[in-house]
Structure 1
Amino acid sequence: MELAIQAEGLRKRYGDHEALSGVDLAVPTGSVLGVLGPNGAGKTTTVRILATLLEPDAGSARVAGYDVVRQRKEVQRAIGLTGQYAAVDEQLTGSENLRMVGMLQRLTRPRAKQRAAELLERFRLTDAADKPAGTYSGGMRRRLDLAVSLVAGPSVLFLDEPTTGLDPASRIDLWAMIREQVAAGVTVLLTTQYLEEADQLADRIAVVDSGRVIAEGSPDELKRTVGGERLEVGLADPAQRGAAAAALSRALGAVPLADDTGGLLRVQLTAGLNDIADAAVALRACGVAVTEFAVRRPSLDDVFLSLTGHAPADPAGAPAEDPDGGQATEPAGVRVEERSAA
């Protein structure tokens, strides 16, 4: 298996704070690795090291076959990088931004112009090509930012929370464009606070917390670590919680858990449709009225909560600061590491 990104034991310290404490990653060529973790977990620091913007204190990494410390120029020629916020020059037009980047990456003037036209068409920005980027909508600016990162035709693309602040329609639009790059053979490392985004795009997911990878696997593999399907029963009268819980426990052989209000019970299913039928019969037999009766699969939110001990941050909120001064955005089967109390 050819690896486009490989990191072993990456460490980075800022004063008394250890931002990375031994990150290991392996990303096969042409795949998408989603990197999840709470703010300050080390996601952005990892991306900055892999993109040669920072040097690690220890460990090693190779991107597109090149060492990120000893072969920085080769790595830079092989990668594209899109950060949390659009980095285009607002005074320049969309076309000028792309042509400028092409020239900086040593394309000839005619080739830079041609490449700009190609990308403007691909990202549906041709009609706005001669307008200042500062007049673009948020979605248009993010599309332009992604186009800028593709000017040189990179084989590896780093996307650090690329859809932060976008409306749902623009986010889905950008997802489609990312999929196009992957279909063309580009390898993508994606950090995101949107768990749905990782579920949609990633072949594998690495969960980062306290500066290291604490779990890794496909989305489905990670979901299975927190259990299978569960039945959620909404009670018309929370006072019937005791009767409902007893009925479900007898029928399914599992102890239901109640939410904070006591109006919703959750119980694990082990026998699929048979469990559902038994639960319905048991509740009806004891006269419990329900407002909701639904089967839920574990989500990445459940995985995140189980592994890190808290829910994901609100992506719409302001990101916390990484100690390095940047914005925190921060193999077969599942790998889960036990964390020490420290």
Structure 2
Amino acid sequence: MAPAIAIKDLSKTYETGFEALKRVNLDIERGELFALLGPNGAGKTTLISIVCGLIKATGGTVKVEGHDIVTDYRAARSLIGLVPQELTTEAFETVRATVSFSRGLFGLKKDPAHVENVLRQLSLWDKRDNKIITLSGGMKRRVLIAKALAHEPRVLFLDEPTAGVDVELRRDMWEIVRGLRESGVTIILTTHYIEEAEEMADRVGVINNGEIILVEEKSELMQKLGRKRLILQLGSTISAIPDGLASYDLELSGQGDELVYTYDTHGGRTGITNLMNDLRDSGLRLKDLQTKQDSLEKIFVDLVHKD
């Protein structure tokens, strides 16, 4: 079975000479939630725009469930839904009419029951006869999602979907996203809220300067690149780290009553065993301990700022 999205050697150079994408290769499997992270200008929106047929690539190929976006564009585009960053909606049209019209753009017959279901899912049914111009920013964002779902896509792109949305609306949207993923829809997410990717994504891709620099299972990424810290709370205060512990990556913190041991997730456990033995031999009494791990945001920042 072909991947949901298969991207091979994709490039995009604008007339100004700016190279937005540089031979990007990426496969996104069916039914997964893939988070694409990157700083502003990294190439995220350009990549999505090419896959969705909004701009043309300079080179390379893209297939959606086996359908080439150039030679078989009708079939490819019929499978895709897009929730863009911009709040571009028909200001004087009603909610129900604009969602129904979006379905018709794909040559599908009217299905009032499906439109009603989508609007109810997004808590828009009570607003169905309201004109778009009368809605709040958060409700307009919901309308964008409803339009993207009107033709029952199997691949859904969410380009910064919760930007400018309050916490409650964001939480509601992510409940909807969970439901879509459970129904088999492939979801590609770009976001600046990295905690969303950390909570929701199956895999994470990082793009920087038009190049994919990493694609990993989220859990494996955090295990391989995340560093852990063991915080040792001492039974008394000390003014300096004892000479017998100098070989460890230790930092004295708190009021002189905490030692912080930083280690990677692979070889760190052996070091912890040795540290605990040496800690006892140094005469320090341990009161409590806890561990903390780098967040996905910390890993992301380290990756894009790596020389």
What band does the TM-score fall into relative to the shorter chain? 0.7 to 0.9
Residue 227 of structure 1 deviates from its aligned partner by 4.1
Cα distance change on mapping 1:56 and 1:302 into 2, 3 Å: same
Secondary structure of 2:28's partner? strand
Residues 1:131 and 2:169 are matched in the alignment: no
**Alpha-carbon displacement from aligned partner over 1:274-307 (angstroms, at most 9, x marks no partner):** 68977997999499xx9x9752112111211221
1:271 partner SS: helix
Using the size of structure 1 for normalisation, the TM-score is 0.76
Structure 1 residue matching 2:99: 3-state secondary structure: helix
Which residue in 2 is equivalent to 1:307?
303
Contact 1:223 1:302 in 2 (8 A): no
Partner of 1:48 in structure 2?
Answer: 49
- Could you say which residue in structure 2 is the equivalent of 1:268? 262
In the aligned structure 2, how far is the partner of 1:276 from the partner of 1:56? 55
Change (3 A) 1:105 1:91: same
Aligned to 1:159: 158
Which of 294, 298, 304 is equivalent to 1:298?
294
Equivalent residue number for residue 6 of structure 1 = 6
Deviation at 1:185, TM superposition (A): 0.9
Quote the Cα distance in structure 1 between the aligned partners of 2:187 and 2:91: 26
Counterparts of 1:137-286 in structure 2, within 5 Å, are: 137-232=136-231, 243=240, 246-247=241-242, 250-251=244-245, 253-256=247-250, 266-269=260-263, 270-271=268-269, 285=284
1:60 shift after superposition: 1.0
Larger deviation: 90-99 or 24-33? Answer: 90-99
Q: Which moved more, 1:292-301 or 1:8-17?
A: 292-301
Contact in 2 for aligned 1:64/1:155 (Cα 8 Å): no
Counterpart of 2:69 in structure 1 is 68
Q: Which runs of 5+ in 2 are unaligned?
A: none
- Relative to structure 1, is the Cα distance of residues 279 and 306 closer, same or farther in structure 2, using a 3 angstrom cutoff? farther
Paired with 1:280 and 1:98, the residues of 2 have a C-alpha distance of 65
Report the aligned-residue RMSD: 3.3
> More relative contact order in 1 or in 2 (CA 8 Å, sep 6+)?
1
Find the aligned partners of 1:100 and 1:221 in 2 and give their Cα distance.
43
Rounded Cα–Cα distance in structure 2 between residues aligned with 1:71 and 1:80? 17
SS of match in other structure, 2:86: coil
Counterpart amino acid of residue 116 in structure 1: V
1:315 aligned partner = none
Report the secondary structure of 1:33's partner residue.
Answer: strand
Partner SS for 1:3: coil
- For 1:20, the equivalent position in structure 2 comes to 21
Which has the higher mean CA deviation after the structures are superposed, 203-212 or 111-120?
Answer: 111-120
- Which digits, 9 at most, give the CA deviation of each residue in 1:254-288, with x for residues without a partner? 223589xx99975325339868977997999499x
Contact 2:226 2:299 in 1 (8 A): no
1:84–1:161 Cα contact (<8 Å) kept: yes
Q: How does 1:103-122 map to 2 (within 5 A)?
A: 103-108=104-109, 111-122=110-121
CA gap 1:285/1:6 in 2 versus in 1, 3 angstroms: same
Post-superposition CA distance 1:131-187 (Å, at most 9, x none): 122222333222221111011101111111111111222212111111111111111
Q: Does the 8 Å CA contact 1:83/1:160 hold for their aligned counterparts?
A: yes
User: What's the offset of the Cα at 1:107?
Assistant: 3.0
Runs of 5+ unmatched residues, structure 1: 311-340
Between Structure 1 and Structure 2, how many residues are aligned? Answer: 297
Structure 1: distance between partners of 2:281 and 2:132: 62
> Which position in structure 2 is the counterpart of 1:337?
none
Distance between the aligned counterparts of 1:85 and 1:282, measured in 2? 62
Would the alpha carbon gap of residues 233 and 74 (structure 1) be closer, same or farther in structure 2, given more than 3 Å must change?
Answer: same
Letter of the 1:131 partner, please give it.
N
Corresponding residue SS for 2:225: coil
SS of aligned partner of 1:229: strand
| Distance change in 2, residues 1:227/1:279 (3 Å) | farther
> How far off its partner does 1:91 sit?
1.8
Using the aligned pairs only, state the percent identity.
31
Contact kept in structure 2, 1:139 and 1:166, CA below 8 Å = yes
Asked whether the 8 Å contact 1:252–1:279 carries over to 2, the reply is: no
